[in-house]
Amino acid sequence: MKRGNPWLSVLFWTFVSFLTLFPIYWLFVISVKPAVELFSTPEVILRSAYWQNYIDVLNDSTLRGYMLNSLIISSCNALLVTTLGFLACYALSRFDFGGKESIFFWTITNRMAPPAVFLLPLFLLLTQVYRIGNFTLLDTRTGMILVYCTFNLPFAIWTLRPTLDGIPKELDEAAFVDGASSWKVITEIVFPLCRPGLAVTLILTWVFAWNEYLLAATLTNFNARTLTTGLSEYITTTGTSWGIMAAISVFTLIPALIIFSLVQRHIVAGLTFGAVKG
Amino acid sequence: MRSNRLGWILLAPTMIILFLFGVVPFLYIIWLSFHQWNPAAVNPDIIFIGADNFRKLVFDPGFLASLGVTLAFVTFAVLSELVIGYLLAQAFMKDFPGKAFFRTIHTLPLIMAPIIVGSVWKLMTTPSIGIIPHFLDSWFGYELNIGQSAVAAFVVTVIMDIWHWTPLVTLTLIAALVSLPPDPFEQAQIDGAGKRQIFWHITLPMILPALMATVFIRLMDALRIVDEVLMLTGGGPGSATRFLGVHIFREVFPRTSYGYGSAVSLIVLYLTIVVCWLLYVSMLAPRNPKKD
């Protein structure tokens, strides 16, 4: 540790924190102002709160539908990728088959490609190729849940691999000697030990799905639209209703903030492909 | 050892999903990029046209402009984030009260949805609503209008990215700095080395692996920026902030020329892979000689 006046550091970091927090605070300020006040001189200090924007958002049945879609899609997707990632990592850590490290690496590369590249092919595949009769995956929750696997499933595998590798193989083998089935070993011995890792994976994949915009904007029209796409609808219409837009932003932000307090330590490790332990 | 069949069964769902939604789209755009397919045109059939799409791409001013601003954006944003992130990480190494608290606040932007970051900065910088144009005007008499000035829009986009992603650089570099052994630094100070010498000859070489990993991750993410920009500027004014992802979303995707769109997508994917691969190699190259 270096010397120097600690209070100077506190002062400096208070300033940095101010720069970090102020834009978020400003979002909140705009969200609790009536439209008429917005175009007067901007005031930094909030004198009164006007909650009508939030009430308007909650009363809008379209936006409520978007919220529900976001909830369903991100929850189902997080559960799906965590389960599949867990099973895949169990296979990768317990079985000895050729090319398993290549398979591991291949799954990860899926996350590295820019999502914009996949807009066109996924749109065409969902409308033209992956269809049964008249039923297509375009603009369905199921479609979005599956599409989000392209970035969340590699992430789940990446974060769960060390967890499963960390559980001694001797535990499984002892259970097999006692005559337990593979199913029993996975569900009753390995699964309980992985719970903390699974919880972090579940939470972070949920946030990634909740935050996603680009794919949702292109692959949904009305039925499966999510909250983030609802937000952009308010910006394209002429005469943006800033208060409503800010209120939707706050609604989108709240779950992420709650989750942030739960898994703060794991966020950096998650975003750097495990290069850094937070 | 148990039979590998169970292993394959457990892996199968993952591999099927990633094959259908990761590999097939990739192969599909490779195939389509050599074809002409425009359902809205006079001839809506899929026709093989060889490398014509790529030939068209090389002379497409829209695509080239987008490529140019993307490279400029990535350079400015990532370099600034590295410098600011390093300075903040160094400032964090001192001993002071409330470290955990400041660190928590500093991590906050990382969890925010990119589109929310865009909306936050739109509210900060839109004239008459935003606080930044207001103060710039009343203090310096400068009129900030990201809807009209290309330079202003580009700079605000870079600042937004710095706000969003510098914490990642700071936190990775803090992790790297904390793990450094104190001995070389003490020795250098005893030998009378200056601050600059210590940085170039001791700190930098020792944190280089972590630094390169951070550069690699940041470049990969900066190259794919879309959501924030769509929200903040919509890619405008003109092509000032029409980065490659925005270009695909706004210009290429809505047109129904699927063959050409595939070629653009493929080239963007290829550029990303090449940049990442170059970085990966440069990351490993300095470490290899030591192993011999």
Q: Which residues pair with B35 in a beta bridge?
A: B48
Q: DSSP letter string over B87-143?
A: HHHHHHTB--TTHHHHHHHHHHHHHS-HHHHHHHHHHHHSTTT-HHHHHIIIII---
CA distance to partner chain B, nearest, from residue A3 (Å): 7
Distance (Å, whole) CA B156 – CA B122: 10
Judging by beta carbons within 10 Å of its beta carbon (0-12, 13-18, 19+), is residue B65 exposed, middle or buried? middle
Token pair listed for B23: 């590999």
Contact A194, A163 (CB under 8 A): yes
Residue A23 has its nearest CB partner, among B14, B120, B252, at: B120
Interface test with B, best of A1, A16, A251, A277 (most B CBs within 10 A): A16
Contact B170, B85 (CB under 8 A): yes
Instruction: Reply yes or no on whether the pLDDT at B284 is more than 50.
Output: yes
Q: Please list, in sequence order, all residues whose beta carbon lies within 8 angstroms of the beta carbon of residue B219, skipping any fewer than 6 positions away.
A: B74, B78, B275, B276, B279
Residues in chain A with CB shorter than 8 Å from the CB of B261 are 120
Query: Which band of pLDDT confidence, cut at 50, 70 and 90, is reported for residue A262?
Result: confident
- The answer to whether the CB atoms of A121 and B28 lie below 8 A apart is yes
Give the pLDDT confidence score for residue B195 in this predicted structure: 85
Residue B113 has its nearest CB partner, among A17, A124, A211, at: A211
Distance (Å, whole) CA B127 – CA A36: 15
- How long a stretch of residues is chain A? 278
- The answer to whether the CB atoms of B213 and A272 lie below 8 A apart is yes
Instruction: Reply yes or no on whether the pLDDT at B48 is more than 50.
Output: yes
CA distance to partner chain A, nearest, from residue B292 (Å): 24
Contact B94, B102 (CB under 8 A): no
Mean pLDDT, residues A1-19: 84
Distance (Å, whole) CA B264 – CA B244: 9
Q: Does B80 touch chain A (CB under 8 A)?
A: no
Q: Which residues of A42-77 are buried (b: 16+ CB within 10 A; e: fewer)?
A: beeeeeeeeeebbeebeeeeebebbbebbeebbebb
CA distance to partner chain B, nearest, from residue A76 (Å): 15
- The answer to whether the CB atoms of B115 and A122 lie below 8 A apart is no
Give the pLDDT confidence score for residue A278 in this predicted structure: 45
What is the per-residue pLDDT across A37-78, written as a single tens digit (0 to 9) for each?
Answer: 777 777 778 777 888 889 988 998 889 999 999 999 999 999
Give the three-state DSSP class for A239. coil
Residues in chain B with CB shorter than 8 Å from the CB of A130 are 20
Contact A226, A205 (CB under 8 A): no
Mean pLDDT, residues B72-78: 95
Residues in chain B with CB shorter than 8 Å from the CB of A95 are 2, 4, 6-7
Among residues A157, A105, A106, A218, the alpha carbon closest in space to that of B265 is found at: A218
Give the pLDDT confidence score for residue B290 in this predicted structure: 42
Could you tell me whether strands B35-36 and B47-48 are parallel, antiparallel, or unpaired per DSSP bridges?
A: antiparallel
More confident residue, B286 or A191: A191
CA distance to partner chain A, nearest, from residue B48 (Å): 17
Query: Which band of pLDDT confidence, cut at 50, 70 and 90, is reported for residue B161?
Result: very high
What is the per-residue pLDDT across A124-180, written as a single tens digit (0 to 9) for each?
Answer: 899 888 888 788 888 899 999 999 999 999 999 988 988 898 888 888 888 888 888
Give the pLDDT confidence score for residue B212 in this predicted structure: 83
What is the per-residue pLDDT across B250-280, written as a single tens digit (0 to 9) for each?
Answer: 888 888 788 888 999 999 888 888 877 777 6
Percent of chain B with pLDDT strictly greater than 90? 33
Distance (Å, whole) CA A233 – CA B33: 31
Instruction: Reply yes or no on whether the pLDDT at B142 is more than 80.
Output: yes
CA distances from B55 to A61, B47, B198 (A): 49, 16, 51
Helix, strand, coil share (%) of chain A residues, nearest 5: 75, 0, 25
Helices (H), A39-168: 52-59, 61-94, 100-112, 115-124, 141-147, 149-165
Percent of chain A with pLDDT strictly greater than 90? 36
CA distance to partner chain B, nearest, from residue A241 (Å): 11
Interface test with B, best of A120, A153, A215 (most B CBs within 10 A): A120
- Kindly report the average pLDDT of chain A as a whole number: 86
Mean pLDDT, residues A92-97: 86
Query: Which band of pLDDT confidence, cut at 50, 70 and 90, is reported for residue A257?
Result: confident
Residue B227 has its nearest CB partner, among A9, A123, A213, at: A213
Mean pLDDT, residues B102-114: 90
Q: Which residues pair with B48 in a beta bridge?
A: B35
Query: Which band of pLDDT confidence, cut at 50, 70 and 90, is reported for residue A228?
Result: very high
Give the pLDDT confidence score for residue A226 in this predicted structure: 93
Residue type, B181: P
Instruction: Reply yes or no on whether the pLDDT at B12 is more than 60.
Output: yes
CA distance to partner chain B, nearest, from residue A128 (Å): 12
Query: Which band of pLDDT confidence, cut at 50, 70 and 90, is reported for residue B289?
Result: very low
Q: Does B21 touch chain A (CB under 8 A)?
A: yes
Mean pLDDT, residues B228-234: 90
Distance (Å, whole) CA A235 – CA A240: 5
Give the pLDDT confidence score for residue B282 in this predicted structure: 67
Interface test with B, best of A66, A150, A214, A257 (most B CBs within 10 A): A214
- The answer to whether the CB atoms of B108 and A24 lie below 8 A apart is yes
Interface test with A, best of B14, B170, B211 (most A CBs within 10 A): B14
Q: What are phi and psi of B264, to 5 degrees?
A: -60, -50
- Kindly report the average pLDDT of chain B as a whole number: 86
Residues in chain B with CB shorter than 8 Å from the CB of A218 are 249, 253
Give the pLDDT confidence score for residue B44 in this predicted structure: 76
Among residues A45, A19, A28, A251, the alpha carbon closest in space to that of B108 is found at: A19
Give the pLDDT confidence score for residue B283 in this predicted structure: 61
Give the pLDDT confidence score for residue A3 in this predicted structure: 61
Query: Which band of pLDDT confidence, cut at 50, 70 and 90, is reported for residue A277?
Result: low
Contact B35, B49 (CB under 8 A): yes
Among residues B133, B130, B119, the alpha carbon closest in space to that of A236 is found at: B119
Among residues B241, B80, B82, the alpha carbon closest in space to that of B154 is found at: B241
Instruction: Reply yes or no on whether the pLDDT at B285 is more than 80.
Output: no
Mean pLDDT, residues B157-174: 93
Give the pLDDT confidence score for residue B256 in this predicted structure: 79
Query: Which band of pLDDT confidence, cut at 50, 70 and 90, is reported for residue B286?
Result: low
Inter-residue long-range contacts of A186-193, CB under 8 Å, 24+ positions, other chains counted:
A186/A87, A186/A90, A190/A90, A190/A164, A191/A86, A193/A167
End-to-end Cα separation, chain B, in angstroms: 36
With CA atoms as reference, the chain A residue closest to B168 would be A268
Q: Which residues pair with B94 in a beta bridge?
A: A2
Distance (Å, whole) CA A93 – CA A39: 60
Q: What are phi and psi of B94, to 5 degrees?
A: -70, 165
Instruction: Find the Cα–Cα–Cα–Cα dihedral B46, B36, B223, A138, rounded to 10°.
Output: -30
Distance (Å, whole) CA B251 – CA B242: 10
CA atoms A16, A20, A23, A24: torsion sign: negative
How far is it between the farthest Cα atoms of chain A?
77
Query: Which band of pLDDT confidence, cut at 50, 70 and 90, is reported for residue A238?
Result: low
pTM value > 0.80: yes
CA distances from A30 to A49, A50, A64, A154, B105 (A): 10, 10, 21, 38, 21
Distance (Å, whole) CA B258 – CA B144: 39
To 10 degrees, what angle do helices B99-111 and B61-92 make?
A: 170
Q: Tokens 């989108």, residue?
A: A252
More confident residue, A86 or B194: A86
Contact A268, B174 (CB under 8 A): no
Distance (Å, whole) CA B56 – CA B58: 6
Distance (Å, whole) CA B259 – CA B265: 10
With CA atoms as reference, the chain B residue closest to A92 would be B7
